[in-house]
Amino acid sequence: QSALTQPASVSGSPGQSITISCTGTNSDVGGYNFVSWYQQHPGKAPKLILYNVFDRPSGVSRRFSASKSGNTASLIISGLQAEDEADYYCASYTSRSTVIFGGGTKVTVL
């Protein structure tokens, strides 16, 4: 099963908003509201920032939000800050009771 499709890189200036897309199929993203997003800084373990499409774990900034339409989910980072520079991955539960990740998006703060 191929990875979910994410743009390789997205950049923005401090204070701006950026959007990262995550495209799958009816068997994963489009079939379930079990899409999650992870932030990973270099040399660190991934950190859950959104789950069940929209929900934020305790302690995660409200500047991170998400949406889903059909087979595409999106992560929105508003008020971009230098600390947001990292790799971001989407993931989805699948019809085969497995999990599939996106290829990852490198966010650069200009």
Residue that has been written with the tokens 């991955």 in this structure: 89
Binding residue (CB under 8 A) for other proteins from 34, 56, 63, 68: 34
Q: Is 41 in the site for other proteins (CB under 8 A)?
A: no
Asked if 101 is part of the footprint of other proteins (rule: CB under 8 A), the reply reads yes
Q: Does 39 bind other proteins (CB under 8 A)?
A: no
Closest CA to 39 of 74, 3, 8, 64: 64
DSSP 29-98: TTT-S-EEEEEE-TTS--EEEEBTTTB--TT--TTEEEEEETTEEEEEE-S--GGG-EEEEEEEE-TTS-
Site for other proteins (CB under 8 A): which residue of 22, 23, 36, 75?
Answer: 36
- Rule CB under 8 A: choose which of 24, 39, 102, 107 binds other proteins: 102
Q: Which is nearer to other proteins, 6 or 15 (CB)?
A: 6
Q: Is 71 in the site for other proteins (CB under 8 A)?
A: no
* DSSP bridge partners of 11: 108
Residues that bind other proteins (CB under 8 A): 1, 3, 32, 34-36, 38, 40, 45-48, 51-52, 57, 87, 89, 91-94, 96-104
